[in-house]
Amino acid sequence: MAKPIIIAGAGLSGTLLAVRLAQRGFEVELYESRPDMRATDISAGRSINLALSDRGLRALEMVGVHEQVLKDLIPMKGRMIHHQTGNTHFQSYSGREGEFINSVSRGGLNIALLDQAESFPNLKLFFNTPCVHVDLEAGLAHFHDQSANRHIHREGSLIIGADGAGSAVQGSMLARVPGCVSTIGRTG
């Protein structure tokens, strides 16, 4: 059986990429350190909304969730500067007439992508399962399944780090660089 593509991190990038790969028929395993945000009352990491541009919308269109996301977008045309004198000054985000970026809930976006990911039989989602280390020579990704409190390792045809700032995958790569001292990805 073909080895799956393994992705660490089911944030915006990891989930979007997982869906794109699944659309192309790859077997994908997506591992997330946190609980499933659809079933648990957790924030999507940062509470403030994201600014979504046309480029981002096109990516969402490719994975088939933009219709769902579009209805919740709040247009942001620019910023208003409030001077101490009481005067206001509007600065447009775009130099072109009629263009704007969109405010969107990070959690809502992540949930829409997770729902879409779950609709693919060739894409498996694992929550509460942080990547702790990647053995780059062996092509093995090591995880801690927190629900079962056990260590698991998976061999992948490709291992992708989408585990954000403090990435364990990146930490494993940096650990191979002579003289490079990295605190990224350390769990203890």
Residues that bind ligand FAD (CB under 6 A): 8-14, 31-34, 45-46, 48, 50-51, 130-131, 162-164, 168
What gap in Å lies between CA 169 and CA 114, rounded to an integer? 21
With respect to ligand FAD, which residue has the nearer C-beta, 117 or 179? 117
Question: C-beta of 147: minimal distance to ligand FAD in Å?
Answer: 14
With respect to ligand FAD, which residue has the nearer C-beta, 149 or 179? 149
Question: C-beta of 45: minimal distance to ligand FAD in Å?
Answer: 6
- CB neighbours of 140 closer than 8 A, spacing ≥ 6? 134, 153, 154, 155, 156
With respect to ligand FAD, which residue has the nearer C-beta, 6 or 120? 6
DSSP string across 84-129: TTS-EEEEES-SSTT--EEEE-HHHHHHHHHHHHHT-TTEEEE-S-
Strands 131-135, 28-31: pairing kind? unpaired
Question: C-beta of 85: minimal distance to ligand FAD in Å?
Answer: 30
With respect to ligand FAD, which residue has the nearer C-beta, 50 or 117? 50
With respect to ligand FAD, which residue has the nearer C-beta, 75 or 179? 75
With respect to ligand FAD, which residue has the nearer C-beta, 34 or 117? 34
Question: C-beta of 121: minimal distance to ligand FAD in Å?
Answer: 22
Which residue is closest to ligand FAD by CB?
11
What gap in Å lies between CA 126 and CA 83, rounded to an integer? 50
Find out whether 101 and 76 touch, Cβ atoms under 8 Å.
Answer: yes
Question: C-beta of 152: minimal distance to ligand FAD in Å?
Answer: 12
Radius of gyration of the chain (CA): 20
What gap in Å lies between CA 35 and CA 40, rounded to an integer? 7
Q: Using CA atoms in the order 87, 90, 91, 92, what is the torsion angle rounded to 10 degrees?
A: 180
Question: C-beta of 27: minimal distance to ligand FAD in Å?
Answer: 19
